[in-house]
Structure 1
Amino acid sequence: MTFELQCTDKASDARTGLITTAHGQIKTPIFMPVGTVGTVKGVHFSELVNQVKAQIILGNTYHLYLRPGLEVLRAAGGLHRFNGWNRPILTDSGGFQVFSLTGIRKLSEEGCEFRSHIDGSKHVFTPENVMDTERIIGADIMMALDECPPGKSDYEYAKRSLGMTQRWLDRCIKRFNETEPLYGYHQSLFPIVQGCTYRDLRADAAKFVADKGADGNAIGGLAVGEPTEIMYEMIEVVNGILPKDKPRYLMGVGTPQNLLEAIERGVDMFDCVMPTRNGRNAMLFSYEGTMNMRNKKWEMDFSPVDANGCEIDRLTTKAYLHHLFKAGELLAMQIASIHNLAFYLRFVTDARMHIEQGDFVQWKASVIGQLGRRI
């Protein structure tokens, strides 16, 4: 994998770049739709390509490990061949999902023992077998196993957790270097910076990760309940240390406003379930603000969902989408998911354009106030 830093904004740390993988190129800043179990909920790949303009999607190691399972994925030749997506894929290590299983998981230096949310069966994730699992899945970008501590963890817990995450990272790197890709193309391993909301821990974590010389680096453990101002502060601390010539991935973030603030601070890659999850619940994002399509105000509004959006946005009226949600039709969730993902991809593409034009900060100031408005 290579990363070419193409343009840096003169008035901020915003930048554009080009990631090249075995399955294609990714223009940054980029938003990555979440395909947890090998599919982006309710959105076919043809729509991801033609409507959403997705350049890369995510898969999740925890979910894919449990179902369809490694035997199926190995026999298929990896996730790309299994699901038919021929563009880049990134896999989360499953750490966040495992550590969210409060009450049915046990953490130790060796790894994490947990019970499946599907059938209660017992499993163990270690840095070594997670690397093996991500090799079998075959993602272009693999994430290291880390602990994602609660956002309000006290300092001592956060420090102990970070120490274990760093020891796990060393084990991940060792196993990664001892093994080879299974399907004839290169895979990259991204470490994850943790440290909760403590400046010194985040700085230590960023230095530790930067020294590994990985193809790219991730920032985890944010947007988990802390105030947004603290999240932005932690991004600044970390990005002040992470190498500028490697892509920076902010995990699990967030709203369009969050993306803008993080791009301004030098983040290149994002993912979040919000566009599809909120879409399934009738919330649409737009430059004018957010729309609840169940509201009666849309009942007689025959204007397009978004006149400047993707084809589906232009063909579908607000009144029709309102009707579909009121009627409980599955098509409502599909259209809303496509709209939100297409908006997010258009949004980061617009950000890229304004960075190149040199007016990113002015553009950000002109749009950020509207984005969170309820309309």
Structure 2
Amino acid sequence: MKFDLVTKDPLSKARAGTLTTDHGVIQTPIFMPVGTMGTVKGVHQRELKEDINPDIILGNTYHLYLRPQTEILEKAGGLHKFMNWDRPILTDSGGYQVYSLSANRKIKEEGVKFKSHIDGSYHFFSPESVMEIQRTIGADIIMAFDECTPYPCDYRYAKRSMHMTHRWLDRCITHLEKLPFKYGYSQAFFPIVQGSTYTDLRQQSAEYIANAGAVGNAIGGLSVGEPAEEMYAMTEVVTAILPEDKPRYLMGVGTPINILENIALGIDMFDCVMPTRNARNGMLFTANGTINIKNKKWEDDFSPVDEMGITYVDTQYTKAYLRHLFAANEYLGKQIATIHNLGFYMWLVREAREHIIAGDFYAWKEKMVKQMSQRL
């Protein structure tokens, strides 16, 4: 994998770059639609590629390990072939599930024992096994195994967890060196900065991760309930330390405004379930603000879903029709909203890139943040 920094915004830390993988080129900043189970919920691969058109999508190690299981993925020739996707894929390590399944797991130095949410069976993830699983899944970018701390988090716990994440990183690197690539292409490995919302811990962790010398770096443990201001503060601390010539991935973030503010702080890559999850609940993101399509005010509004939208659903359907689909609990409504939201997120990051290259990103970002704060 190769990262080329194209240009930087003069009034912020925003950057435009190009990330080259064996499955294609990723233009940054980029948003990665979440395809947890080898599918972006409610979207056919044809729609995903032709209408939403992301450079890269994300899969989940924990979920793919449980279903369809790594044996099936290996027989298929990896996740790309299994789901018929020929562009880059990133897999997270399962560390977030360790956090979110806190009632069903036990963390030790050796790794994590957890109970399957599917059938109650017990499983064990170690840094070594997670590297093996991700080799078998076959994503272009794979993540280190880490512990994502909750918010709020006691300082002592956050510090202890951070050091364990660093030890796990060393084990990941050591084991990964022993594992040959599968399926005829290479994989890039990203370690993850932790440290909760404590400045000194974030600094320590960022320095440790930077010294690991990986081809890219990630920031985890944010967007877990902390105020946005704390997220931005921690991101700023970390991006000041992580190498400028390598891509920076902020995991699990976030709203359109979160994305623009973090681009301004030097982040290149994002993922979040928000555009798809909120779509299924009738929330549409637009350049002019947020729409709750379930509201009665849209009942007789026959204007397009989004006249400025980039996908076919934005002009093919009306707000009144989309509201009707949600009122009738027709799944097509959720599909239309999902395609719209993902298309909007892709438009947002690509428009940000254009403004970074043009040198007027900061002014555009300030205008967009104000516009998108509105409830329509």
The reply to whether TM is greater than 0.5 is yes
Residue in 2 that maps onto 1:172 = 172
Matched, 1:267 2:264: no
In structure 1, what is the Cα distance between the partners aligned to 2:235 and 2:102? 27
Whole-Å Cα distance in 2 between the matches of residues 249 and 362 of structure 1? 24
SS in structure 2 opposite 1:68?
coil
- Please tell me whether residue 185 in structure 1 is matched to residue 185 in structure 2: yes
What is the rounded CA distance, in whole Å, between the counterparts of 2:196 and 2:99 in structure 1? 15
- Which position in structure 1 is the counterpart of 2:46? 46
Report the Cα offset of residue 170 of structure 1: 0.2
For residues 70-124 of structure 1, give each alpha carbon's deviation from its aligned partner in whole angstroms, at most 9, with x where no partner exists.
Answer: 1101110100010001100000001111232122211100000001000000100
Matches within 5 A, 1:33-182: 33-182=33-182
For 2:181 and 2:192, how far apart are their aligned partners in 1? 21
Aligned twin of 1:371: 372
Counterpart for residue 3 of structure 1 = 3
CA contact (8 A) 2:98 2:148 kept: no
Cross-structure match for 2:317: 316
Structure-2 separation of matches of 1:16 and 1:82: 32
Q: Is the 1:255–1:274 Cα contact (8 Å) retained in structure 2?
A: yes
CA distance in structure 1 between the partners assigned to 2:49 and 2:307 by the alignment: 20
* Residue 281 (structure 1) shift: 0.4
SS at 1:17 equivalent? strand
Deviations 1:181-230 (A, max 9, x none): 11110101100000000001000100000011111000000011111111
Helix, strand or coil: the match of 1:300?
coil
Give, in whole Å, the separation in 1 of the partners of 2:226 and 2:332: 35
Aligned to 1:246: 246
What is the aligned partner in structure 2 of residue 361 from structure 1?
362
Mapping 1:178-257, distance limit 5 Å: 178-257=178-257
Contact 1:305-1:317 at 8 Å conserved across structures: yes
Question: Which segments of structure 1 move beyond 2 Å, counting only runs of 4 or more?
Answer: none
Q: How far 1:372 moved relative to its partner?
A: 2.5
Give 2:293's aligned residue.
293
| Secondary structure of residue in 1 paired with 2:202 | helix
- Asked if 1 retains the 8 angstrom alpha-carbon contact of 2:99 and 2:150, the reply is no
Shift of the alpha carbon at 1:180? 1.2
Query: Residues of 1 paired with 2:105 and 2:11: CA distance?
Result: 46
Letter in 1 for 2:61: T
RMSD (CA atoms): 0.7
Q: Which consecutive residues of structure 2, in runs of 5 or more, have no partner in the other structure?
A: none
Instruction: Measure the CA separation in 2 of the matches of 1:53 and 1:133.
Output: 27
**For 1:80 and 1:251, how far apart are their aligned partners in 2?**
22
**Take 1:207 and 1:51, find their aligned partners in 2: how far apart are those partners?**
40
SS, match of residue 321 in structure 2: helix
Contact 1:62–1:98 (CA under 8 A) maintained in structure 2: no
- Give distance in 1, aligned partners of 2:102 and 2:361: 42
TM-score of the two chains, using structure 2 as the length reference? 0.99
Q: Structure 1 unaligned runs (5+)?
A: none
Q: Deviations over 1:276-331 (max 9, x none)?
A: 00000000000111101111111111111111212210111111101111111110
In structure 2, what is the Cα distance between the partners aligned to 1:57 and 1:23?
12
Equivalent in the alignment of 1:344: 345
Give the secondary-structure state (helix, strand or coil) at the position aligned to 1:179: coil
Letter in 1 for 2:350: T
Contact preservation (8 Å) 1:33, 1:57: yes
Contact 1:51 1:312 in 2 (8 A): no
Identify the residue that residue 258 of structure 2 maps to in structure 1: 258
The offset of 1:365, in angstroms, is 1.3
Q: Distance in 1 between matches of 2:334 and 2:103?
A: 32
> What TM-score, normalized to structure 1?
0.99
Amino acid paired to 1:234:
M
